[in-house]
Structure 1
Amino acid sequence: MKNSYITSILFALIMVFSMSCEDLEERPVGVLAPEGLFQTVSELQSGVNGGYYLLAREEFYGRKLSLALLVRSDMCGIGDPGTATRRHACDLMQMEQDNGLVNAFWPMGYKILAAANTVINAKDVVSGTEEEINPVVAEAYFLRAYVHYVYVRLFGEIIYMNGEPLEDPYAVSQSSVPEIYAGIISDLEFAKTWLVDVPADRSHPGKAAAYGMLASVYMTKATSEAAEGGDWQSAFDNAKHVIDNEGQYGVALDNDYYDIFAPDYTSSEVLFKLNMIANDNHNITPGELGGSNAGTDQMTSITGPRGDERFEALNAAAAGWSAIVPELSVYEKWDGRDYRKAVSLDTAITYQGIPDYPFTEWDNISQNVARPAIAKYFRAVGEAGLRTGTAQGASLRDSNVKPIILRYAEVLLIAAEAAVELGNNDLAVQYVNRVRARARNAAGAGDAKYPPSPIPADHAGGITIAEIMEERRLELAFEGVRWYDIARRQMGNVFTGAAPALEDRDFDPAVDYLWPKYYVDVDLLPGLSQNTGYEGL
């Protein structure tokens, strides 16, 4: 990994300056040292912002990682059969060591880590007080923790990047899973201490995001090889801290589930999100920083239905690509009285001038399939654009959509899961019922189309882990967390094809819970080994 590793660091630094330091005074820098890069707190913040921009790149959450997480779960499959082979391989549990999705997002993740580490390493050389510097550096710690958390869940043992100088990149070795979790937890402990209570924008983490992410980390660690006796209690304590401090941190469940995903709505429920940087058609991001896909929302296009004419007022070529679609069984098994189904699934379009053209006829459209579409991206963006008159790019790209990384409903469900594990069923039921009550509220009593409903009913009495997993599946549908739940709870049986499975896949539990590591780095670095089942493929 010698060349790719060093390139990642240099590229990350170049991106930081190019994208977020436009206001910095020009000065010659002879070496890549912190004192040569940052001198003020505002410059430090610019460095953190560069890390966020890399996170939103097409190679990471712009499409590659986000798409992979969706299609790998039991909720989605391939709609357009002509879509890229790398996507089919991920969907069908046939990934090889050179899978194109991993090839794109693995190097980008390490560039994000390099950017975060550059900021962290500069905290002792910039001018300012601890109270001025540490809240900014805490964002870098949060970012570093989050990328490592993504990677340890997908790949297991990886190269953990703690920011220490490497004299010989060839000598670096992968860290154990317990070591990686220890580093993630340490970073989030710093973050929750120093992040602000209420960030100006939820594309920057505040304390609620740090506590919530730490709860998620402990929840996942509790079912991993790194598990320790106090993990479930730590997951519960961190989640409950957010619940007990809703007002202080400015978080709450949004009244209308639909609003969470509307780009024109400011949500109190979202704890951490990304801001996509519309660029292809709006010319906000210079092309030399990555070409036409840099910072562009591609998930809207990937999940939108082909042939759709509903949003042509926003762009003459506003139809989606039908590349990733829900499994038909997701639609069929979801109670139609659950408002979350209407928000999550798109079942009718306008096609050849015919309004409300049903999904059962969509196989008449070239490269489409007779299944509903995911509505949390394409339809949410299109309807917001019509409300606000905001022009969009072709296929509704350049939407400035807000991919959600963590929201308050998930924190409540983490608390519920941990409470069950700790034997506190009453609290678990209470937390799940809060999420269900919002779902039953639908769009409110005054809405004729989606009035309040008795579904899903309050839980009465005990609740099981299986029931919480099902609540997570529906509440967080198509938000990129389902695969993580399948892996951490070892639920490979959801791919058996037999009820209650949603998909039929040739799932090998000895191989498929982990993904192949980036083969270039595995080949070049003696200290990085490939995961079982992918060697030599």
Structure 2
Amino acid sequence: MKRTYLNSILFALIMVFSTMSCEDLEERPVGTLSPEGLFVSVKELKAGVNGAYGQLAREDFHGRKLTLALLLRSDMVGIGDPSTPTRRHACDLMQMEQDNGLVNAFWTVGYRALAAANEVINAKDNVDGSEAEINAVAAQAYFLRAYVHFVYVRLFGEIIYMDGQPIDDPYAVQQSSVSDIYEGIIADLDFAKEWLADIPVDRSHPGKAAAYGMQASVYMTRATSEAAQTDDWQNAFDNAKHVIDNEGKYGVALDNNFYDIFAPDFASSEILFNITFIANDNHNITPGELGGSNAGTDQVTSVTGPRGDERFAALNSDAFGWSVAVPELSVYNTWDGRDYRKAVSLDTAITYLGEPDYRFTEWDGISQNVARPHIAKYFRAVGEAGLRTSTPQGASLRDSNSKQIILRYAEVLLIAAEAAVELGNNGAAVEYINRVRARARNAAGAGDSKYPPSPVPADITGAVTVQDVMEERRLELAFEGVRWYDIVRRKMGNVYSGAAPALENRDFDPNVDYLWPKYYVDVDLLEGLKQNVGYEGL
């Protein structure tokens, strides 16, 4: 029996009518489209999945807007250049209003990614091919659908869940409960766990380890939410341990040198899933061909790099950053200098006016810069790789193919450690957190004179606490976009004011600021989508 579906792309378009007024929509574009005619082969199904990947690799999602918002919202990063747009200051200072420009940009792109994933999922039963080859492709769509919903439920709470099912009237659709959203995410990842490859073709495609690791993160996050289930911590532990127990089968391991993880020219075994930017000038595709001057451009390097930097002029005469998102000075001051992760994560010296090793304490003399270390996992990692490989880059190291890491193995180990603490399994918690610390102590290896093995961080002994794991996550995963999620799920608003553990001072309101404003145009258009508390009418 044939089933007809509302074209989920049409639904996504309804979600993004930012240029139309409500009066323009009096004739509502309601219709149906059968997925049977869209895809007839596995090759076409793959093309549909690529459409979903392509949305996540846009400048207005992981190319800058979402990634920048996550960095600024955390307690470890603030604004460096005071002239940067107001929308960024508002995000950083807990002053977001319902029309914040960062949310406006990435919200719509995420729903387009969901639309693309749903077209593939709805069409999979109508495609010629074996069950195994069809489901292996569809599993990627399920994984991406789970990932976008997971991002959005953590940022916005109740949202409109896009499961691709028939909708008679898009304007009558209702937002889903947090509980139902998590159930949908978990079900999607169950499918992905079954059908994804043991070892994917590369880490820009998820494999089984990514699916199990993502589901471990989902259970861990739900365990501290309003939708918590009694077995969440056990499920988080079991999924993480499945990855740990199958390292060889899934081809995953901690990279020996922490520096290598972030180098664009290094094939990491630790990264389980990352967003790869290949639609840029270096690959003979101009952003304009993709829809807009920034459409396919990775600009995370630019917004995190130092102004005035001349180290990478050989790659481009304008290879300096913009000093937008910079670490709080207290991050540098409180991080033990013997921890190799500090040297990899923080950029403290540039070349300026021909002077090498120009220290960050002098950077406030550079226009639009600030006397703070900068984030090194993007700008410096890309620049140094470019010099090693003689790869030209765009101005400000845009078009860089920097690694936008979504999940890596060290985080899976720390998820297992946190779940073990909650389950009272201190032995497992000690084992997993110390594996991460041991790699950090290895530094660049015994043969490296600048960064030899270090006694810091030492193995943890005794009882591991949740606070121990949170601190390890803060340092190990610094500036990778997960700190804000940790603050929310552990309700750590205290990190924004007062004495330790505060790293910065912000006017944080726990009644409002754990959630972000939903896209105001959709809230106005769709009666079933309600604005979060504290943002109504702003």
Which position in structure 2 is the counterpart of 1:402? 403
Q: Give the direction of change, closer, same or farther, for the CA distance of 1:195–1:140 in structure 2 (3 Å limit).
A: same
**Counterpart position of 1:124:** 125
Question: 1:415 touches 1:428 (CA, 8 Å); kept in 2?
Answer: yes
Aligned to 2:465: 464
Aligned to 1:41: 42
1:94 equivalent in structure 2: 95
Is it true that 1:275 corresponds to 2:276 in the alignment? yes
Instruction: Check conservation: 1:311, 1:382, Cα contact below 8 A.
Output: yes
Please say if residues 279 and 292 of structure 1, whose CA atoms lie closer than 8 Å, have aligned partners that are also in contact: no
Match of residue 533 from structure 2: 532
Of stretches 496-505 and 31-40 in structure 1, the one that deviates more from structure 2 is: 31-40
The 2-side partners of 1:167 and 1:174 are apart by 15
SS where residue 357 of structure 1 aligns?
strand
1:146 Cα deviation after fit: 0.3
Match of 2:10 in 1: 6
5 Å matches for 1:224-235? 224-235=225-236
Runs of at least 5 residues in structure 1 that lack an aligned partner in the other structure: 13-29
Structure 2 Cα separation of the partners of residues 190 and 73 of structure 1: 32
In structure 1, distance between residues paired with 2:232 and 2:449 = 45
Describe the superposition over 1:363-390 as per-residue Cα deviations: whole angstroms up to 9, x where unpaired.
0000000000100000000000000000
1:353 corresponds to which letter in structure 2? G
Following the alignment from structure 1 to structure 2, what is the Cα–Cα distance between the partners of residues 440 and 174?
47
CA contact (8 A) 1:326 1:371 kept: yes
Amino acid paired to 2:370 = V
Question: In the aligned structure 1, how far is the partner of 2:128 from the partner of 2:410?
Answer: 39
Superposed displacement of residue 291, structure 1: 2.0
For 1:57, the aligned partner's letter is R
State the match for 2:24 in structure 1.
Answer: none
- SS of residue matched to 1:272: strand
Are the equivalent residues in 1 in contact too, given 2:7–2:33 (CA < 8 A)?
A: no
| 1:327-346 to 2 correspondences below 5 Å | 327-346=328-347
Bigger shift: residues 340-349 or 46-55 = 46-55
Is residue 443–residue 453 contact of structure 2 (8 Å, CA) maintained in 1? yes
Deviations 1:109-130 (A, max 9, x none): 1000000000000001100111
Cα deviation, residue 47, structure 1: 0.7
1:11 CA drift (Å): 11
Contact 2:63 2:300 in 1 (8 A): yes
- Quick one: distance in 2 between partners of 1:481 and 1:286? 28
Q: What does residue 474 of structure 1 align with?
A: 475
Cross-structure match for 1:433? 434
Q: CA deviation at 1:280?
A: 4.1
Cross-structure match for 1:141: 142
Q: Is the 8 A contact 2:118 2:163 kept in 1?
A: yes
Counterpart position of 2:75: 74
Shift of 1:460: 1.1
Identity %: 79
Cα displacement (A) at 1:278? 4.4
Hey, what's the Cα distance between the residues in 2 that align with 1:96 and 1:374? Answer: 27
Deviation at 1:50, TM superposition (A): 1.1
* Distance in 1 between residues matched to 2:101 and 2:496, nearest whole Å: 23
1:322–1:369 Cα contact (<8 Å) kept: yes
Q: What amino acid is the match of 1:491?
A: M
C-alpha distance in 2, partners of 1:6/1:40? 23
The equivalent of 2:60 in structure 1 is: 59
User: Any conservation in 2 of the 1:278–1:397 contact (CA below 8 Å)?
Assistant: no
Which whole-Å CA distance do the structure 2 matches of 1:370 and 1:402 have between them? 26
- 1:420 to 2:453 alignment: no
Specify the code of the residue in structure 2 equivalent to 1:216. Answer: S
**1:80 aligns to what SS in structure 2?**
coil
Q: CA deviation at 1:294?
A: 1.5
CA separation of 1:535/1:10 partners in 2, compared to 1, >3 Å: closer, same or farther? closer
- For 2:243, the equivalent position in structure 1 comes to 242
Instruction: Tell me, yes or no, if the aligned pair for 1:232 and 1:418 is still in contact at 8 Å.
Output: yes
Contact 2:7 2:32 in 1 (8 A): no
Displacement after TM superposition at 1:289 (Å): 2.1
- The 1-side partners of 2:403 and 2:360 are apart by 26
Alpha-carbon distance in structure 2 between the residues aligned to 1:372 and 1:57: 28
Whether the 8 Å contact between 1:426 and 1:461 is mirrored in structure 2 is no
Q: Aligned AA for 1:271? A: L
Q: More deviation in 126-135 or 72-81?
A: 126-135
Q: Residue in 2 aligned with 1:18?
A: none
* 1-structure distance, mates of 2:14, 2:320: 38
8 A Cα contact 1:4 1:521, kept in partner = no
Residue number in structure 1 paired with 2:20: none
Alignment match, 1:500: 501
Residue 205 of structure 1: aligned partner: 206
Q: Distance in 2 between matches of 1:388 and 1:465?
A: 42
Q: Distance in 2 between matches of 1:290 and 1:305?
A: 29
Asked if 1:288 is matched to 2:292, the reply is no
Q: Distance in 1 between matches of 2:32 and 2:40?
A: 15
Q: Distance in 2 between the 1:235 and 1:456 partners?
A: 26
Distance 1:395 1:7 in 2: 37
| Offset, 1:500 | 2.0
SS at match of 1:271: strand
Count of matched residue positions in the alignment of Structure 1 and Structure 2: 519
Aligned equivalents of 2:14, 2:130: Cα separation in 1 = 29
Structure 2: tracts of 5 or more residues without a match: 1-5, 17-30
Cα distance in 2, alignment partners of residues 424 and 295 from structure 1: 45
Relative to structure 1, the CA distance from residue 155 to residue 425 in structure 2 (aligned partners, 3 Å threshold; closer, same or farther) is same
Q: CA distance change for structure 1 residues 229 and 11 in 2, over 3 Å: closer, same or farther? A: closer
Q: Which structure 1 residue ranges, 4+ long, deviate > 6 Å from structure 2? A: 2-5
Report the alpha carbon displacement of residue 76 of structure 1 after superposing the two structures with TM: 0.1
Please state how far the C-alpha of 1:285 moved relative to its aligned partner: 4.6
Shift of 1:78: 0.1
Please state how far the C-alpha of 1:32 moved relative to its aligned partner.
3.9
The two structures have a TM-score, normalised by structure 2, of 0.94
Contact 1:272 1:406 in 2 (8 A): yes
**Distance in 2, Cα, partners of 1:278 & 1:178:** 37
